[in-house]
């Protein structure tokens, strides 16, 4: 049985496969973090390829076949271009998405986390200078919405907590 769903999603990560296909990790409000396959997206004629850049907010049509999700169509909602043109903002985006991708449970709705992520992206896109304190604000909100924290912590404390949760070293923030 084939099921088709339309949803808004942030593109969290891409893993290239051999041939023209790519595995894409999406974060949707309704389904949470999902892993999907974008068939033929590496072909030069693919209209979906520009939409599936990390950090983009897209509207996507997903089809489920044999327990695998396939990206059928995409429409770009926002590429957040002002973030991608600034190396400091890209560093912040990378840190946040690194935490988000590793701590989000798979296929579990996380509407509050989705709204926190959307708010971060909007503020980051508009902001002239985004500080560690602002990033800590959003990381605190994310970790609290996911049930990992009860009270706010400093950026340095958050990094230690996240590294312990993931059992992995966090990348350095370039600000």
**Residue range 27-41, pLDDT digits in tens:** 998 999 999 888 876
Q: Where are the beta strands (DSSP E) in 31-67?
A: 32-38, 57-65
Mean pLDDT of 94-110: 93
Predicted TM-score of the model (pTM): 0.88
The number of residues in the chain equals 175
Q: Can you tell me the mean pLDDT for 148-153? A: 94
Better pLDDT: 171 or 114: 114
- pLDDT at position 1 is 45
Residue ranges covered by each domain of the chain: 3-78, 81-166
Note the pLDDT of residue 101: 93
- Helix or strand or coil: residue 71? strand
CATH 3.30.470.20, applies to 3-78: no
- Share the mean pLDDT of the chain: 88
């Amino acid at each position: 049985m084939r099921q088709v769903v339309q949803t808004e999603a942030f593109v969290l990560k891409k893993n290239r496969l051999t041939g023209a296909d790519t595995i894409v990790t999406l974060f949707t409000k309704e389904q949470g973090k999902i892993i999907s396959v974008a068939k033929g997206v590496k072909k030069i004629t693919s209209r979906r390829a520009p939409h599936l850049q990390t950090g983009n907010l897209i509207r996507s049509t997903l089809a489920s076949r044999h327990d695998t999700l396939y990206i059928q169509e995409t429409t770009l909602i926002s590429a957040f271009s002002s973030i991608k043109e600034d190396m400091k903002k890209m560093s912040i985006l990378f840190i946040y998405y690194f935490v988000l991708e590793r701590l989000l449970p798979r296929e579990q709705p996380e509407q509050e986390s989705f709204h926190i992520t959307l708010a971060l992206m909007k503020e980051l896109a508009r902001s002239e200078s985004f500080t560690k304190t602002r990033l800590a604000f959003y990381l605190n909100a994310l970790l609290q919405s996911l049930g990992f924290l009860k009270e706010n912590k400093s950026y340095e404390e958050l990094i230690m907590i996240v590294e312990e949760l993931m059992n992995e070293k966090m990348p350095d923030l370039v600000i």
